[in-house]
Amino acid sequence: EAQVTQNPRYLITVTGKKLTVTCSQNMNHEYMSWYRQDPGLGLRQIYYSMNVEVTDKGDVPEGYKVSRKEKRNFPLILESPSPNQTSLYFCASSKERGEEIGEQFFGPGTRLTVL
């Protein structure tokens, strides 16, 4: 089954404790992206990757890191989480070519709470 998986689905942590949210897709997509979703603010892009070893900042990259060492995986790293990073996070992937970039498949989401 074609899908994007994220882990963990739910996480409660404390300020300053490093964490990683994993994202994996089995569709051989070149493009992967991380979003956060907050009430009233919609989906905001954190980082995206056009292919292996190619990453770029989205609209809200501060406090986050990513890496793309393999085509299927795109982990999101919070080196020192803060309460303002409490949010619902989505990973998404799509083909990179042309219009298909917009036909993104989303993972199930990770609800993160930073105390």
Partner 1 sequence: QKEVEQNSGPLSVPEGAIASLNCTYSDRGSQSFFWYRQYSGKSPELIMFIYSNGDKEDGRFTAQLNKASQYVSLLIRDSQPSDSATYLCAVREVTGGGNKLTFGTGTQLKVEL
How many binding residues for partner 1 (CB under 8 A)? 25
Binding mask 38-77 for partner 1 (x = CB under 8 A): --xxxxxx--x-x-----x-xx------------------
In the complex, what is the shortest distance from the CB of residue 33 to partner 1, in angstroms, rounded to a whole number? 8
- CA dist 95 and 78 (Å) reads 26
* Residue 31 within binding range of partner 1, rule CB under 8 A: yes
Q: Which of 21, 25, 29, 33 binds partner 1 (CB under 8 A)?
A: 33
To the nearest 10°, report the CA torsion of 7, 11, 13, 19: 10
Angle at the Cα of 82 (from 19 to 64), degrees rounded to 5? 55
- CA dist 35 and 107 (Å) reads 11
Whether the CB-CB separation of 13 and 114 falls below 8 Å is answered with yes
Q: Which residues are near partner 1 by CB under 8 A?
A: 31, 33, 35, 40-45, 48, 50, 56, 58-59, 90, 96, 99, 101-104, 106-109
